[in-house]
Copies of this chain bind each other. A is one copy, B any other.
Amino acid sequence: MSSEKPTNNNDSIIKPELLGGFRDLLPAEALMTQKVVDTIRKVYESFGFVPLETPGMENRKVLLGNTDNFNKSIFLARIVRGIEDKKIANDSWDQDYTLRFDLTVPLARVIAAYPDLPKPFKRYQIGKVWRGERPQAGRYREFSQFDFDIIGSNSILADIEVIQVMYQSMKALGIDNFLIRFNTRKILNGLAEAVNCLDNSKELFRIIDKLDKIGLTGVKSELMRQPANEYDDTALAMTENKAEKVIAFLQIKSESSDDVLVKLQDFFGDSDDLGQSGLYELQKISKALTDLNIPQKNWKIDLSVARGLDYYTGPVFETTLTDIPEIGSVFSGGRFDGLTNRFIAGSNIAGVGASVGIDRLIVALQKLGLIDKRDSVTDVLVTIFDPELQKYSMDMVQELQQNGYNTELYLGDDYTFRAQFSYAAKKSIPFVVIIGPEEMASGKIQLKDMNARKQELLTKEECFANLKSSLGK
């Protein structure tokens, strides 16, 4: 500590380090994020979704309910006042300030707190969330979520709209090869009922969700696994007969959704209520997507889509990229009726929505060559020939900005051309303007095209025409 060794100067210098699991978005990353967010936001708004902002912290019970046995690593916070600081270790801990770990529970609080919000309430939200899990490659303790949800609609049209929004978002980003796979929890509940596993359906869905990773054989042996000991309540210990039934279910697939629906009807027969209501949902969704001319290559019924979270109650969705499936789901969600029950007993308010993985999308867009990585937005750098002439450079900056070009005046301390061009090159600024005494005298300016490595003496009109044809503004 510096107070113990006040003569050691190095000791008082602080390392400019991030906390583990946190990161900076430097301009290049921040610009890509902004572009993706703006693009998707426009799609959300085209469907009438509006923004909502909730705080980074909520009361702990709001986020976790009354339980003390929550199953998450979360951040709690407390206020420390100046020199009281030294007492922290011994202080009792204020348990109220809890950092949000998703945007869905805060949404449920908003719905419960403002009953006058017109319903269906359609909101989107982008915001940071915090989780305490150990950081890994690509997994951070702080990350942004970008959700949209429809609250208060039981209509299957709302589920269909969620798929439409995902579809339009991917198209708006320039992605053509993606696949929206969907299923419904009701079908899965029908399956659970059919194999007498309704009480343990959570475990059943968890195993089904692993199909991609462990294959049919793996699923079957997981289903039949006996408990490791008397405390192991995760083993389903299914009979081979029942496990085969699950496998038969998972083998129902076809490029044609009508085909899948016929096979499902066969599987469930007429007796199973849960299965029938799920079948009805899949039929409705399939018909609507066909009616809307959403291409067959972009959607598919996939009975193995279960989604891990407990709270889904109806259709569930996952969007993967056909060319780079290894990236995983980039846009996923589902129906979660009843989320406000924590605040309003028995309210059972309907909800359906999805969340886009911005970071994964940016990785994908880069791999697909659909997004530029630039750390600048500047179109033109205006140099300063010499401080005496700076007025003319400043005027030119203003004129360029008024014409819609992002324009920087060179603000460095080194006025050599070498330094000024080097700044433009480092920031990949495509054009540089030079106004010296000769240009002043002739009423012209030098325009340097940094990519073409070409410099021309032009009138202002020629300069603007040149920029217009090159930059398309």
Q: Is A46 touching B407 in the complex (CB atoms < 8 A)?
A: yes
Q: Is B14 touching A342 in the complex (CB atoms < 8 A)?
A: yes
Measured CA separation A118–B128 after assembly (Å): 28
Q: With A14-B62, A83-B69, A407-B46 in contact, do A24 and B123 touch (Cβ < 8 Å)?
A: no
Interface residues of A (CB under 8 A from B): 1-3, 9, 11-19, 22-27, 29-31, 33-34, 45-59, 61-62, 65-66, 68-83, 85-86, 88-89, 91-93, 95-97, 99, 108-110, 112-114, 117-120, 122-123, 128, 130, 132, 142, 150, 152-155, 157-158, 160-161, 168, 288, 291-292, 342-345, 375-378, 381, 384, 390-391, 394-395, 398, 401, 405-409, 411-413, 423, 426-427, 429
- Residue from A27, A49, A108, A120 having most chain B Cβ neighbours under 10 A: A27
Measured CA separation A129–B2 after assembly (Å): 27
Q: Is B17 touching A155 in the complex (CB atoms < 8 A)?
A: no
Residue of B nearest to A117 (CB): B26
Measured CA separation A384–B160 after assembly (Å): 15
Q: Is A30 touching B52 in the complex (CB atoms < 8 A)?
A: yes
Q: A50-B375, A73-B79 are in contact. List 19 more A-B contacts (CB 8 A).
A: A1-B68, A3-B66, A13-B342, A13-B345, A16-B110, A17-B59, A19-B58, A22-B58, A46-B401, A47-B401, A47-B408, A48-B378, A48-B406, A56-B130, A70-B82, A88-B93, A120-B423, A155-B411, A155-B412
Chain B residues, Cβ within 8 Å of A112? 16
A150 interface neighbour in B118, B411, B429, Cβ under 8 Å: B411
Name the distance in Å between A292's Cβ and chain B's nearest Cβ: 6
Name the distance in Å between A23's Cβ and chain B's nearest Cβ: 7
Name the distance in Å between A115's Cβ and chain B's nearest Cβ: 10
Measured CA separation A130–B99 after assembly (Å): 12
A66 interface neighbour in B14, B375, B378, Cβ under 8 Å: B14
A292 interface neighbour in B46, B74, B76, B395, Cβ under 8 Å: B395
Q: Is A110 touching B24 in the complex (CB atoms < 8 A)?
A: yes
